[in-house]
Amino acid sequence: MLKNVAAVLLDGVHPFELGVVCEVFGIDRSDEGLPVYDFAVVSAEGPELGTHCGFTVSTPYGLERLEDADLIAVPAGETYAVREYPEELLAALRRAVDRGARVLSVCSGVFVLAAAGLLDGRRCAVHWHHAEQLGRRYPRLRVEPDVLYVDEDPVITSAGTAAGIDACLHLVRKEQGPEVANKIARRMVVPPHRDGGQAQYIERPLPKTSCDTVGEVLAWMEAHLDEELTVEQLAARAHMAPRTFARRFQQETGTTPYRWILRQRVLLAQELLEGTDETMDAIAWRTGFGTAAALRHQFVRALGTTPNAYRRAFRGPEAA
């Protein structure tokens, strides 16, 4: 039963991510027949904590308040990805899970859950900016870099910032039903469920290679995404046999020529959807997909959302 909720903070907490948890669980909405949570903000490092915005947060609650919580939420913090954490906090999180409570992280709060050993052998989400660092620091977990949140009950982890809303509403929906989650979302003026994942928010990377064997070919490929590209054609540009080129390409880029081209075409489509009013047919032609149907198919496969939904998300409903 989801009734007693605590948000636990370390020094340098991000106010927005803390606000996400407070907004979902800390407001009395009984006037609409919604559940009221016994909510508290808990400090793991003294009665007054700094935020990354320069102001302080104070609370009378210490770690003892976690012992009764059904849900412990860990919002993000400025240095959470690189710092050490109080052993008393890590022990309290482990005890909570052992007695059947849930824990939930927003963005870099996941590093605290990982340090407590709660993510060993589990999948988890984090802001795409932290995904590689999290995997290096805690190799026993499995990072899902493209999703908004991961529910590995009793541990729920979310990606950056607003994805914490998605995770919190997911938990409310799971415990108290869609009607409650939808009403809370309506009061917050947010969608009760978002399509897609955070892959659609990752910036377009420049082609990278560990050496220059296929570097010139990569640059040429990126400039000719609207053309039909074959391994034989690319190998000829690199003055290699096709099998040699394919093997060298895999070694230097970590993927195959086909997958590299596909990813770059999707990324180019993202740019065009964000920055132009071109039709889907025109974008499909410019990105080498040929038809709007093929563009939609590959876009959904790569990002978990449609081109129209992506354009709406970044440019508003009028653009779509």
Residues 223-251 have pLDDT tens digits of: 899 999 999 999 999 899 999 999 888 88
Domain spanning 215-315, CATH class? mainly alpha
| Chosen CATH of 4-199 out of 3.40.50.880, 3.10.20.30, 3.40.50.2300, 3.50.50.60 | 3.40.50.880
Looking at every residue in the chain, the average pLDDT score rounds to 89
Q: In whole angstroms, how far apart are CA 189 and each of 23, 24, 32, 180, 192?
A: 11, 12, 15, 14, 9
pTM: 0.68
What digits encode the pLDDT tens for the residues 105-137?
Answer: 999 999 999 999 999 999 999 998 899 999 999
Residue 47, pLDDT above cutoff 50: yes
Confidence category of residue 209, pLDDT binned at 50, 70, 90: very low
Predicted local confidence at residue 87, as pLDDT: 97
HEC per residue, the chain? CCCEEEEEECCCECHHHHHHHHHHHCCCCHHHCCCCCEEEEEECCCCEEEECCCCEEECCECHHHHHHCCEEEECCECCCCCCCCCHHHHHHHHHHHHCCCEEEEEHHHHHHHHHCCCCCCCEECCCHHHHHHHHHHCCCCEECCCCCEEEECCEEEECCCCHHHHHHHHHHHHHHCHHHHHHHHHHHCCCCCCCCCHHHHCCCCCCCCCCCCCHHHHHHHHHCCCCCCCHHHHHHHHCCCHHHHHHHHHHHHCCCHHHHHHHHHHHHHHHHHHHCCCCHHHHHHHCCCCCHHHHHHHHHHHHCCCHHHHHHHHHCCCCC
Please report, rounded to a whole number, the percentage of residues in the chain having pLDDT higher than 90. Answer: 65
Predicted local confidence at residue 264, as pLDDT: 87
CA angle 251, 253, 257 (to 5 degrees): 95
Identify whether the C-beta of residue 167 lies closer than 8 Å to the C-beta of residue 157.
yes
Q: What is the C-alpha to C-alpha distance for residues 216 and 239, in angstroms, rounded to an integer?
A: 12
Asked whether the CA dihedral 60, 66, 71, 75 is positive or negative, the reply is: positive
Residues in the chain: 320
Q: In whole angstroms, how far apart are CA 160 and each of 20, 55, 124, 166, 293?
A: 11, 21, 12, 11, 31
Predicted local confidence at residue 201, as pLDDT: 61
Domain residue spans of the chain: 4-199, 215-315
Residues in Cβ contact with 297 at an 8 Å cutoff, skipping those fewer than 6 apart: none
